[in-house]
Structure 1
Amino acid sequence: MGCVESQTVLITQWPRSIVTHKNSPVEMHCYQNNTDYTYVYWYKQSGKHIQLVVMLVGDIPNYEEEFKSGFKAVKSGKQWSVNITSAQEKDGAVYLCAASLHSDVHSSGL
């Protein structure tokens, strides 16, 4: 039997909630407290539906088609952020971040 070693990733995400006006910019952040993983992700959850917004490999963002316009993701060291340049009603949701050593997290059936 083989042994798979796993490392826990502790991530701090802020702000906890955002109230804004239509067409205003919104900024959200995450920080890897004890790791510096290469692959980082932002997800959007609306009800039971979760979809990938962007995957950053190093500091290069790869946006899903629906989020190529109006979203800007950046990574600097252990912190990464996503900006919605002009928030609309359809952007109202829960946004979640994740980090991984591997690039297959976005296809895990979330």
Structure 2
Amino acid sequence: GPWAKAASDTKDVNQTPRFITKTISQSVESEIKCSHKIPSYNKIFWYKQGKDKALQLLGYLNLNNPNVEEELKGKISFDGDGRNNGSLSISDLRLNDSAVYFCAASLHSAAHLSGVDTKTF
């Protein structure tokens, strides 16, 4: 299905760094970066994959307009431009922020996925 393709087709979407380690109450300040070179794609979606392995939508960048899921406003923020690159910030880190964070470049929904593992201790 589309998810199998999404997980393997990462050549057009690049995410850095592979790992981030922080202590509790620190913040991730635009350190999780996602870039793509897919013509006409103008959105970057962000997802969090916690211990239960389920993907939680954090929101997306539409051109240079961030759209954060309502319950995450003040915790998560996005910067950049959905047409080429974006970054993710997470404030006031807690243990449950330890997760793999994925970005997806898209015209309208999740298409090309790439991931970075963020650990909090």
Q: Give the TM-score category using the shorter length.
A: 0.7 to 0.9
Aligned equivalents of 1:82 and 1:36: distance in 2?
22
Q: Paired residue for 1:22? A: 24
Structure whose alpha-carbon radius of gyration is higher: 1
Point out where structure 2 has 5 or more consecutive residues left out of the alignment: 1-9, 112-121
Q: CA separation of 1:9/1:65 partners in 2, compared to 1, >3 Å: closer, same or farther? A: farther
Instruction: Quote how far apart the aligned CAs of 1:85 are.
Output: 2.2
Identity %: 36
Q: TM-score, normalised by structure 2?
A: 0.71
Specify which structure has the higher proportion of strand: 2
Moved more, 37-46 or 62-71: 62-71
For residue 18 of structure 1, give the secondary structure of its aligned residue in structure 2. strand
Point out where structure 1 has 5 or more consecutive residues left out of the alignment: 1-7
Q: How does 1:33-72 map to 2 (within 5 A)?
A: 33-35=37-39, 37-46=41-50, 47-72=52-77
Aligned equivalents of 1:53 and 1:100: distance in 2?
15
Aligned equivalents of 1:75 and 1:9: distance in 2?
20
Equivalent pairs, count: 98
Instruction: Quote how far apart the aligned CAs of 1:37 are.
Output: 1.7
Aligned equivalents of 2:59 and 2:103: distance in 1?
10
**Given the alignment, which residue of 74, 88, 96 partners 1:90?**
96
User: For the aligned residues, what is the CA RMSD?
Assistant: 2.1
